[in-house]
Structure 1
Amino acid sequence: MDIQGDNESQNEDMEIRMRERQGYITVIVPVYNVEKYLDRCMESILAQTYTKLEIILVDDGAADSSGAICDSYAQKDERVQVIHKENGGLSSARNAALDIAQGEYIGFVDSDDYISVDMFEKLYQACVQYESEIAICCHYTERGDRLLIEEPIVDESIQYTGVEALELLIRDQGIRNYAWDKLYKASLFQSIRYPDGRNYEDIATTYLLFYRAKRICSIPRYLYYYQIREGSISSHVEDTKWLDNCYQIIVSQTERYHFMKEHKEERLADLCLAQLVPYLYEYIRLGLRLHTSLHRTEVLTLLNKEWENIQNNSFLSAKDRRLYKIYTAAPIVVQSYQRTKEAVKKVQDCRYKLKNALGEAGILSVDRFDFQLAKGKERRIIFFELPCFDNLGDHAIAYAQKKYMEALTAQRPEYQLYTIDGWDTVEAVIQLTKEIGKKDVIVCQGGGNMGSLYEFAEAFRQKLLKAFVDNRIIIFPQTIYFSQDEQGERTKRKMVKVYNKCKRLTICARDAVSAQTMQSMFTADIESVNDIVAYLSGRIPVQTQRKGIVLCLRSDLESALTTVEKKALRQACTEKASDVRITDTCLGRDIDRQDREAMLMKKWSVFAGAQLVVTDRLHGMIFSLIMGTPCIVLGNNHHKVKATYATFKDCKYLQYAENVREAVQMIAAWKPDEIPVTPYNTEEYYKKLEQLVIMQ
């Protein structure tokens, strides 16, 4: 027998198969009772610009016509093959396809979802460009007729080592466990399969693939459309169902923890345990509430076994470490703790209200701030910021207003500027009421939060107005809006009562509609002044290398666009430019004050790097203005965007579209070479504001 010859022949056959597989992507689609959605899903896959696909549909014992639909696609396209099997669940369906997959890469699409036509092309290019074994894209969430971005915004490609990406995956920050937003090298699945019969099966599997990968990359492309529908695994669940799901998460996370321990990845193991412990506490708490002891002993055994590791875990908060003794005690102790926690919250609320009342009465003394005037200074200007969260528009207002005030006071040596963080408002007001002089000026942050839509911001502002009724107060450019209901009327009545007690109040309206509303409500001086962020035009470095279109659409309460309309805008952009980037001015994660400037500069570079911006964000429009980038802007669900656009209507590179149809026409007519030489000059807009601030 010629063993050597046989081995050589086998090696040659393997090399031929490898060459045949090179560049091919196996797309795995588990199918179960999705006849309503399957056509949309399949059409999006068959329309892929990357055509080297093997598409495996797994009919997991569907009771509707899904199986027949699968067969019809296999007859239409030779790239499609179908597996019919008894119902075994999502993991079983994926595994059946993995067992026969021939592609060099593996991708997953859930059959009630759909994908962008260039999803696999972009992911494959990323794998090749960054020499990565896993590439990750961004996704939309579709809820009814709303198309949302529910994860933090990503604006740049990022390359990770496997361990770096694995840490983010375990933390569930920036990288999620989902199977379907990724492209994997098929070799990673050697001996790895999804656990049969378990929800949240991705938690039990994705970390194993990441652990094997040497390089992983993520790209800032929104390529997957994830649908939340009634009856899906991910839709809202009641407590009894959540208890079962919580247990299944515990099982998967426990496996992940033990895997890291066995492979002597101590830091990752500690991180896994820190993610697991809150689920163990939650399971005990909810089990007692639902009067069930199912799996309770198992969970308590795990907690007791890991007692020492929990106490020494640097990733766990001190509170979570202390809670161990409560949740491993008798049920009555856990229940007493829950009741005590609810009572403590009520007490804390009362203490907060009492602290405010005592402070306003001058009884409570808090001296954290240095409000002393320096030598040669005659009067204070105290700029109170509002608390800012994830909205870069709000951060840009605070940043621009501070820059403006610094420039103004630099020219007026008699003034001394103090800037108060929004979260320090209460304590600063308490102290300042004892130290403020008659000539001192209070300046409130501008924005689009006056009225009933953002009561949180309104509460902070009214605290200032109540405390300093005798001082000169200037509210920087604002939009005012009230909902057409009892809440709106109630807020309006309260505002009239508070605002009209101020003796020297000036309110700057950033649009004509707001100015008219303010004049009808308040006795204060009302002045029209443009949004303060436009003050930065010409003051921020602008890059000259521009490419493609940036699509910046909102996903919050003020959005007026449906899923169909958003997709129409994206399609129009794609037809006009090969490079279309999705972004938003709300990042989906809170921004610390010290990181404000860096985060703004990053976002402004996105706008400055585009040839065109299409947006329904007010500050998407203004970011375009200060970066000198042509912009097509649509309105939101009230007057704010349109009325603010009117204050910049002489800016030649801003266009307002009344509706999506008009915006699509504007996109089609846009000429890429029409880029302004310099950003719009806004110098004249703020001379009036200077006089308002320094007025005696």
Structure 2
Amino acid sequence: MVTVVVPVYNVERYLALCLLSLAGQQYPNLRVIAVDDGSTDSSADILKEFQDRLNLRIVTQKNQGLGAARNSGVAAIEQTDYLMFLDSDDALAPGALHSMVSMITKSKSDFVVGDVTRMKGLTRLRRVDTRKFFKAGSRTKATFLDEPQSLLDVTAWNKLFSFEFYQKSAIKFPSIFFEDMSEMTRAYIEAKTFDVLSKTVYLWRVRTEGALSITQQTNATRKLEDRLTSLREISKLIKDAIADGRATEQHWKTFCQRIDEHDRKLYAKAIPGSGKLFDELLATR
């Protein structure tokens, strides 16, 4: 059985498309747990409309944030073989579950990670930040030690986990922005092996309507603080892994490269002086 946890919060415009992508998987042993995280729009009604089309359980809670909603969904699982997360404004690519389950059942790895395509309106774009990781092609029984580029792929939603591994690793998302970055890094480190599927399994929506740049966001400073919190935790995980032989200096170089090419640029214009904070983080090595 595969269980997909879908956190839901005020996504009435996209939720039906998300759920249709699950129904379209035509996977015979699929359970969906949707966690309504205190939505105030019509999201709850849309979920109810899909209960007859999907093996769908709805969990309702007061708004606690994305990380808490994911944790609540996992806590509601009674039994499953595999676990996946799907954000409610995104979608699964056709055949994604079949491809991922087929791969992991043969390899017996702890999880499988698939490629992601960004959706911006009707346009689909490859993710630039993870291109090196997936460009090497599909492979099974990979290890963190041999795959420094895995540090470029630290999102929760393009991975299918062995539920036994997920529980054993005690993965739990913190209540901050970028809640998955450190936990997914830890998953890579703790996995005995993982599989890489170079085909697109996940469609990640970049919202265009009403979108604000970081400079326009009132919570930009909070987001920077949370990103730095996650990056500090990742830094510690990498240094500990190097110390016990599960990582090399190349992992640290990849981490630094990721910060310079992505995180630093994201906030450079938005928050003057933010570059010093990233410098301080990297100077801890």
TM-score > 0.5 by shorter chain: yes
Q: Structure 1 residues 253 and 232, CA, compared in 2 at 3 Å: closer, same or farther?
A: farther
Q: Structure 1 residues 66 and 211, CA, compared in 2 at 3 Å: closer, same or farther?
A: same
Whether 1:168 aligns to 2:149 is yes
Q: 1:268 aligns with which of 235, 247, 253?
A: 247
Shift of 1:41: 1.0
Unaligned 5+ segments in structure 2 are none
Counterpart-to-counterpart distance in 2, 1:42 and 1:291: 42
Alignment of 1:135-534 (within 5 A): 135-151=112-128, 152=131, 154=135, 156-164=137-145, 167-170=148-151, 172=152, 176-190=153-167, 191-196=170-175, 198-230=176-208, 236-238=213-215, 243-262=221-240, 264-265=243-244, 268=247, 270=249, 274=253, 275=255, 278=259, 282=264, 286=268, 290=272, 300=280, 306=284, 309=285
CA contact (8 A) 2:148 2:251 kept: no
**After the TM superposition, which segments of 4 or more aligned residues of structure 1 sit over 6 Å from their partners?**
none
Shift of 1:148: 2.2
Shift of 1:149: 2.4
Q: Structure 1 residues 59 and 231, CA, compared in 2 at 3 Å: closer, same or farther?
A: farther
Shift of 1:56: 0.2
Which structure is higher in helix share?
A: 1
CA contact (8 A) 1:133 1:215 kept: yes
Alignment of 1:565-584 (within 5 A): none
TM-score by length of 2: 0.81
Q: Structure 1 residues 86 and 270, CA, compared in 2 at 3 Å: closer, same or farther?
A: farther
Shift of 1:90: 0.9
Shift of 1:77: 4.3
Q: 2:156 is paired with a residue of what secondary structure?
A: coil
Q: Structure 1 residues 129 and 267, CA, compared in 2 at 3 Å: closer, same or farther?
A: closer
Counterpart-to-counterpart distance in 2, 1:104 and 1:232: 39
1:42 aligned partner? 19
Q: Structure 1 residues 166 and 207, CA, compared in 2 at 3 Å: closer, same or farther?
A: farther
1:94 aligned partner? 70
Whether 1:83 aligns to 2:59 is yes
Q: 1:71 is paired with a residue of what secondary structure?
A: helix
Q: 1:129 is paired with a residue of what secondary structure?
A: helix
Deviation digits for residues 359-399 of structure 1 (CA, Å, limit 9, x no counterpart): xxxxxxxxxxxxxxxxxxxxxxxxxxxxxxxxxxxxxxxxx
Q: Which protein is bigger by CA-based radius of gyration? A: 1
Deviation digits for residues 153-189 of structure 1 (CA, Å, limit 9, x no counterpart): 748422243324652222x1xxx11212111111222
Alignment of 1:615-654 (within 5 A): none
Deviation digits for residues 560-611 of structure 1 (CA, Å, limit 9, x no counterpart): xxxxxxxxxxxxxxxxxxxxxxxxxxxxxxxxxxxxxxxxxxxxxxxxxxxx
Shift of 1:68: 1.9
The residue type paired with residue 162 of structure 1 is T
Q: Structure 1 residues 218 and 129, CA, compared in 2 at 3 Å: closer, same or farther?
A: same
Q: 2:177 is paired with a residue of what secondary structure?
A: coil
Q: Structure 1 residues 79 and 100, CA, compared in 2 at 3 Å: closer, same or farther?
A: same
Counterpart-to-counterpart distance in 2, 1:179 and 1:84: 21
CA contact (8 A) 1:193 1:205 kept: yes
Aligned residue pair count: 270
Q: 2:113 is paired with a residue of what secondary structure?
A: strand
Unaligned 5+ segments in structure 1 are 1-23, 310-696
Higher relative CO (Cα under 8 Å, sequence separation at least 6) belongs to 2
2:8 aligned partner? 31
CA contact (8 A) 1:135 1:184 kept: yes
The residue type paired with residue 68 of structure 2 is S
TM-score by length of 1: 0.35
Q: 1:51 is paired with a residue of what secondary structure?
A: coil
